[in-house]
Amino acid sequence: MRRGGGGGGGGRMMDEDDRVEHAEIPTSFGHELRACLRCRLVKTFDQFRENGCENCPFLEMDKEDNVPNCTTANFTGIISLMDPSRSWAARWLRIAKFIPGCYTLAVSEELPEEYQGICQDNNVHYVPPKR
């Protein structure tokens, strides 16, 4: 992808690219919020169900049952990232390569083994939560 020079941060026009520039922002902050077990993106159940996870399209959350299996309602804290590649917090949380959006600080559950296999098949590195 082409990167324009002199990026002073902020106000960058979105190029007309197929790539998604940022994840959906949760439409509500109630108990229907879920976090992706692989990348920790936070959205509502319905958003995952309709559009899947922007970082993990291979988990196919728009298909039956993948949302409950690949996301959790059991997480603490939310951080919103606007420029993950320049954020120390994103590096610390190891989400610097993900697209801008809302993320949780930690999930306590592991992605089910079946889906870890899907990650491997897609050459995606999955980091299980520390215990």
Q: Does 36 bind Zn ion (CB under 5 A)?
A: yes
Phi, psi of 118 (to 5 degrees): -65, -40
Residue 24: how many other CB atoms lie within 10 Å: 18
Report, in Å, the least distance between residue 5 CB and Zn ion.
Answer: 31
Interface segment toward Zn ion; rule CB under 5 A; list 45-53, 72-80, 83-91, 119-127: 45-53
Q: Tokens 């390569």 label which residue?
A: 97
Selected binder of Zn ion within 47, 55, 72, 104 (CB under 5 A): 55
Contacts with 16 (C-beta within 8 Å, 6 or more apart), sequence order: none
3-state SS, residue 106? strand
Pick the binder of Zn ion from 24, 35, 38, 71 (CB under 5 A): 38
**DSSP bridge partners of 102:** 80
Among 23, 39, 67, 118, binds Zn ion (CB under 5 A): 39
Q: How far apart are CA 47 and CA 61, in angstroms?
A: 10
49 is a site residue for Zn ion (CB under 5 A): no
Position among 23, 35, 53, 111 found at the interface with Zn ion (CB under 5 A): 53
* In the block, residue with structure tokens 């899907």: 118
23 is a site residue for Zn ion (CB under 5 A): no
Q: Which residues bind Zn ion (CB under 5 A)?
A: 36, 38-39, 41, 53, 55-56
